[in-house]
Amino acid sequence: VGPLRAPPHPVVVTHPEGVNFTVTGNEVRWQNWRFRVEPHPREGPVLHLVRYRDGERERKVLHRLSLSEMVVPYGDPDDTWSWRSAFDVGEYGFGANANPLDAGSDVPSDAVFLPSVYVEPSGKAKENPRALAIYERDGGVLWKHFNPELRRNESRRAIELVVAFGVTVENYDYLLNYVFKQDGSMKVEAVLTGIMLAKGVPAPKAPHAGHPDAHEQYGHVVAPGVVAVHHQHFFNFRLDFDVDGPRNSLLELNSLPIPQGAANPTGNAFSMRMDPLADEASAQRDMSLAQARRWLIINPEQHNALGHPTGYALVPAENAVPYASPDNVSRKRAGFIDHPFWATRYAPQELYAAGTYPNQSEGGAGLPTWVRDNQPLVHEDLVVWYTLGVTHTPRPEEWPVMPAAHAGFSLLPVGFFAKNPALDVPRSAPSP
Catalytic option among 52, 74, 172, 312: 172
Residue 162, beta-bridge partner list: 135, 179
Backbone angles phi, psi at 194, to 5 degrees: 100, -150
* Rounded distance between C-alpha atoms, residue 350 and residue 356, angstroms: 8
Cβ(111)–Cβ(19) below 8 Å: no
| Residues contacting 187, CB < 8 A, separation 6+ | 177, 178, 179, 181, 408, 409, 410, 411
In terms of phi and psi (left: phi > 0; alpha: psi -120 to 50; beta: otherwise), the region of 225 is: left
* Rounded distance between C-alpha atoms, residue 409 and residue 3, angstroms: 38
* Rounded distance between C-alpha atoms, residue 125 and residue 115, angstroms: 13
DSSP H helix total and E strand total for the chain: 2, 23
* Rounded distance between C-alpha atoms, residue 406 and residue 230, angstroms: 18
172 is catalytic: yes
* Rounded distance between C-alpha atoms, residue 70 and residue 90, angstroms: 8
Catalytic option among 88, 173, 242, 244: 88
Cβ(312)–Cβ(61) below 8 Å: yes
Backbone angles phi, psi at 319, to 5 degrees: -155, 175
* Rounded distance between C-alpha atoms, residue 169 and residue 194, angstroms: 9
286 is catalytic: no
What residues are annotated to the active site?
88, 172
